[in-house]
Amino acid sequence: MMPRDIQTNLLAPPSGATAPRWGLSMPLSRRQGFRAAAGLAASAAALTAMPAQAVIRVDITRGNVDPVPIAVTDLFADTPQGRSIGADIARVVAGDLDRSGLFRPIAKTAFLQRPEDMQMLPRFVDWRTINAQALVTGKTTLEADGRLRVEFRLWDVFAEQQMAGISYTSAPDTWRRVAHLIADAIYERLTGEKGYFDTRVVYVAESGPASKRVKRLAIMDQDGANHRFLTDGSYLVLTPRFSPTAQEITYLAYVNDRPRVYIYNIDTGQQEILGDFPGMTFAPRFSPDGRKVIMTLADAGNSDIYTMDLHTREVRRLTNSPAIDTSPSFSPDGNRITFNSDRGGSQQIYTMDANGNNVQRISFGQGRYATPVWSPRGDLIAFTKFDASTFYIGVMRPDGGGERLLAQSFLVEGPSWAPNGRVIMYYRQDQTNRDGTGGDAHLWSVDLTGYNERLMVTPLLGSDPAWSPLLTP
Amino acid sequence: MRRELIGPIVALFFVAACQSTPNDTGNAVTQGAAAGGGGAGVAQNAAPAAAPAAAPAARPAGPTAGTRAEFEQVVGDRVFFDFDKFDLQPVARGTLERQAAWLKRYPAARVVVEGHCDERGTREYNLALGERRATASKNYLVALGVEASRITTISYGKEKPAVPGSNEAAWSQNRRAVTVVSGVATN
């Protein structure tokens, strides 16, 4: 069997082309002038209209007000099979960039230059004519050993410079992952932020009427491809979450009508109950180092927060109040925990140290606050809020300031962060009708800016999404 | 915390019966409250009923004594809660008092108390709230003399609504603790 790994190499600009004076290996955010330029809130269009040394930059903080027009050409190949893969890759790359809301892929029918004519240098004037600011070219090769080699180059059309060039060598059936890696490389090069396309989503697939919903764990790529079910619906499953390596999922399952936290290994398909607790365990999440699961245990009707070390099986109790304490989530450095409690009389968001000390209430707005989830960047906490018959998805700083609401509906719930901390996925459920119809749940995503709210297409209804880390960190 | 003392029990039965029909104009709610009203009297009188097994054609109205059907339809198998609350209202206590009397009469019966919530809460919080509701019912049954070893609890949060609909009539029926009997005949 062919190894699953994907080998990556940087590509120098072809002869006759120029590259920016900085190398690709240096993070964009540290490059001279980037922060100043990004902070100007000048549009990418304005930046690229500047003289030739300028390089396209996408200001990620502004949402999709002005998405950058980008031409993603079919990757060229000498063989029909290679050209077919090249076209598939281009389609997946363009789809990723389009859904981000930061880019506007140009329809291929507008292209003036054909892929086979760009193997040395693009004719930049042809791409300026159709208002492309960025251009993606490349080629695929099926090597003698059966492996697929994929090259891509990202061009600044106005500066006539190569901005990125990378080759990937891997088994041919990994072409989708290669496409997502290319999209991530383009996103990172143009925004200065890590991408989130080489990721997966685990969620709860729902079918049947609202009163008799069948719920199954399901997993898919972040673009909906490679969908498969992990459980068969014979028992209720809820709230799956990824481990930091994306190899395991922790979730709540009602096996034999005993609601307990389980761990599912994606590679082996094995499921394991976590610990031996006297009451219901629920609301699980992995610690950032993957060594512990933090969860809620309901003992004699009272819910408190515990951690379990996955190696030593040591259990630690972190809260001890007669109130409901649930929905815990670690900060990315593992030092703090945010959680939901009604200890003050109504549901609010709190933070505490990893050992349970130093508890602080951070939500003080109107309504009930729930499901706090710490951003992978550490800078924000996403939450669900319920006020005056409306649910909201929002974010606030870990000190409780800067609250912003990003989505609202009759019922929206359960935010999950993309690994770059720029996009949030959640689910939205419709009202249920008296005859039992309705109550449909769907997965949605929204940018941190509140723009670019998008439906995730799933084969069945869907709820409780959880976004994986980058599969290739 | 919000916690109500177990008050004197006395004659709440008929008050309970009159008040406990939620203002639901819709479907479904046939058992629970409405049937439980008449049931208070029936339950007290039904104990010695020697089942007339010889006359299947002339079956008397209502379920057989000591069956799950009697518990559900006559005693009343569920109690209701206010939004985001788990304290037992007088109506609920009346229902649980009938349940306790029935359970003491039929010692082979065991129960699972299911705690449920309406849809207006997050999934995880509602799991915790359902657990509180189930435990409130259990604790009251135990206080009334039912052995704790006969009672287990489970929370379904908002996963198993009894009545479909996104309106107060449905929600008031879904904020509930349901006592599910086993160990006795079904009907």
Q: What is the CATH number of the domain that holds A289?
A: 2.120.10.30
Place of tokens 């090069």: A189
Instruction: Point out the least confidently predicted range of A161-175, B35-49, B144-158, B169-183.
Output: B35-49
Q: How far apart are CA A49 and CA A20, in angstroms?
A: 16
Q: What strands, in cross-sheet order, belong to the sheet with A281-286? A: A281-286, A292-299, A302-309, A315-317
Q: Which domain holds residue B92?
A: 13-45+62-182
Q: What kind and span of H or E run contains B168? A: helix B168-174
Same domain (yes/no): A212, A323:
yes
Q: Mind telling me how many Å the CA of A282 is from chain B's nearest CA?
A: 7
Q: What kind and span of H or E run contains A87? A: helix A80-99
- Domain contains B29: yes
* Residues ≥6 apart with Cβ < 8 Å to A153: A11, A13, A14, A136, A137, A138, A162, A164, A165
Q: Which residues pair with A341 in a beta bridge?
A: A325, A348
Place of tokens 């009343």: B76
- Domain contains B55: no
Q: Which residues pair with B181 in a beta bridge?
A: B111
Q: Say if CB A157 and CB A134 are below 8 A apart.
A: yes
* Residues ≥6 apart with Cβ < 8 Å to A165: A10, A11, A12, A13, A24, A151, A152, A153, A154
Same domain (yes/no): A16, A126:
yes
Nearest to B141 by CA among B2, B6, B3: B6
B103: domain CATH number is 3.30.1330.60
- Domain contains A1: no
Same domain (yes/no): A213, A352:
yes
Same domain (yes/no): A428, A326:
yes
Q: Is the pLDDT of residue B81 over 90?
A: yes
Q: How far apart are CA A204 and CA A350, in angstroms?
A: 27
Same domain (yes/no): A94, A113:
yes
Instruction: Point out the least confidently predicted range of A16-30, A160-174, A414-428.
Output: A16-30
- Domain contains A293: yes
Same domain (yes/no): A158, A270:
no
Q: Kindly state whether B182 is in contact with chain A, defined as any CB-CB distance less than 8 angstroms.
A: no
| Chain A residue closest in CA terms to B112 | A257
Reported as a single tens digit per residue, the pLDDT across A163-209 is 999 999 999 999 999 999 999 999 999 999 999 999 999 999 999 98
- Domain contains B2: no
Same domain (yes/no): A177, A231:
no
pLDDT at B187: 87
Same domain (yes/no): A39, A94:
yes
Instruction: Point out the least confidently predicted range of A372-376, B58-62, B118-122, B179-183.
Output: B58-62
Select from B124, B133, B137, B167 the residue whose CB has the most chain A CBs within 10 Å, as the one to mutate to test that interface.
B124
Residue B74 DSSP one-character state = I
Query: Number of structural domains, chain A?
Result: 2
Please say which residue of A144, A172, A191 terminates a domain. A191
- Domain contains A473: no
- Domain contains A472: no
- Domain contains A404: yes
Q: How far apart are CA A85 and CA A441, in angstroms?
A: 34
Please say which residue of A160, A191, A222 terminates a domain. A191
- Both tokens of B7, joined, read 């008050």
ipTM of the complex: 0.89
pLDDT at B8: 37
Q: Kindly state whether B149 is in contact with chain A, defined as any CB-CB distance less than 8 angstroms.
A: no
Question: A224: pLDDT confidence band, cut at 50, 70 and 90?
Answer: very high
Higher pLDDT, B138 or A114: B138
B173: exposed, middle or buried (C-beta count within 10 Å: 0-12, 13-18, 19+)?
A: buried
Q: What kind and span of H or E run contains A329? A: strand A325-330
Contacts of B176 in chain A (CB under 8 A): none
Higher pLDDT, A131 or B18: A131
Contacts of A281 in chain B (CB under 8 A): none
Q: For chain A, how big is the Rg over CA atoms in Å?
A: 24
pLDDT at B59: 57
Q: Kindly state whether B152 is in contact with chain A, defined as any CB-CB distance less than 8 angstroms.
A: no
Q: Say if CB A360 and CB A350 are below 8 A apart.
A: yes
Please say which residue of A191, A208, A225 terminates a domain. A191
A30: domain CATH number is 3.40.50.10070
Q: Is the pLDDT of residue A351 over 70?
A: yes
Same domain (yes/no): A269, A146:
no
Question: Quick check: helix, strand or coil at residue A178?
Answer: helix
| Chain B residue closest in CA terms to A348 | B125
- Both tokens of A401, joined, read 């300031």
Question: Quick check: helix, strand or coil at residue A60?
Answer: helix
Q: Kindly state whether B113 is in contact with chain A, defined as any CB-CB distance less than 8 angstroms.
A: no
CA angle A314, A230, A176 (to 5 degrees): 110
Name the average pLDDT for chain A: 90
Query: Number of structural domains, chain B?
Result: 1
Distance of alpha carbon B168 from the chain centroid: 20
Q: How far apart are CA A133 and CA A128, in angstroms?
A: 7
Name the average pLDDT for chain B: 78
Contacts of B166 in chain A (CB under 8 A): 410, 431-433, 438-439
**Helix runs in B10-109, H state only:** 13-19, 32-45, 68-70, 90-105
Dihedral of alpha carbons A184, A187, A191, A192, sign: positive
- Domain contains B3: no
Contact B124 A434 (CB under 8 A): no
Contacts of B27 in chain A (CB under 8 A): 434
Same domain (yes/no): A148, A204:
no
Q: How far apart are CA B11 and CA B14, in angstroms?
A: 7
Q: Mind telling me how many Å the CA of B152 is from chain A's nearest CA?
A: 10
Same domain (yes/no): A236, A374:
yes
Q: Which domain holds residue A409?
A: 200-467
